[in-house]
Structure 1
Amino acid sequence: MTKSKINENIHHIATMLLTQSNSQVGNLGVLIGTGKETDNHQALVAWLGARFNNMYDVELTVQDAVTQLTDHLQEQNSHLVQKCIARIADAHSILPAHSLAPPHTSMRK
């Protein structure tokens, strides 16, 4: 497969993925883009190109792209959740400790 055929296939698959989503997809540039993309199609093309641009002997299918993209997004979501949990734990570690028992008072007068 030639480089131009690979690029053509990547653009076609990006279009198919957006068409099959049947809903407004959020800003994919934030999740999978390089930061230079102006729309979801450009973000998908950049992401697919980075992963599949050197696959000269294998033709990328829409199903392959869906599987890879889903796995990638799930992995990113997992990392985000872990970061949030770590930040919550860190926030609790800097709070002052308070005893749950009533303060000790002397019974002598």
Structure 2
Amino acid sequence: MSQVWSADTSSPTNAWSPTNPAQNHCSVTALVVHDLFGGDILCTRTSGGTHFYNLIDGRKWDLTVSQFAEPIPYDDTPSSREAAMADTSREKYALLKARVGAS
């Protein structure tokens, strides 16, 4: 995923860094993973706010965990596509989905 993340897919855009490419990509990544593999979108509270990730076939998948310096206190709160989309934009989602499809 690190090859397809960038400032223009990050929420907010100005908080992205090439040294931490997963930063601020949790919601948009959870949406694309949900498109590809189904399952559920979960969230948890972190020191930086709400963090989104996926549950597929009973297994947690957090492709953006590398953005954190400390362990995440996963509480596996059920979430939704709508909640994850509210944390990003349709444009960022479409761009990341297209990049993943092209890679």
Please report the TM-score for the alignment, with normalisation by the length of structure 2. 0.24
Larger relative contact order (Cα-Cα within 8 Å, sequence gap ≥ 6)? 2
- The structure in which a higher percent of residues are strand is 2
Select the structure of larger CA radius of gyration.
1
TM-score (norm. length: structure 1): 0.23
Structure number with higher helix proportion = 1
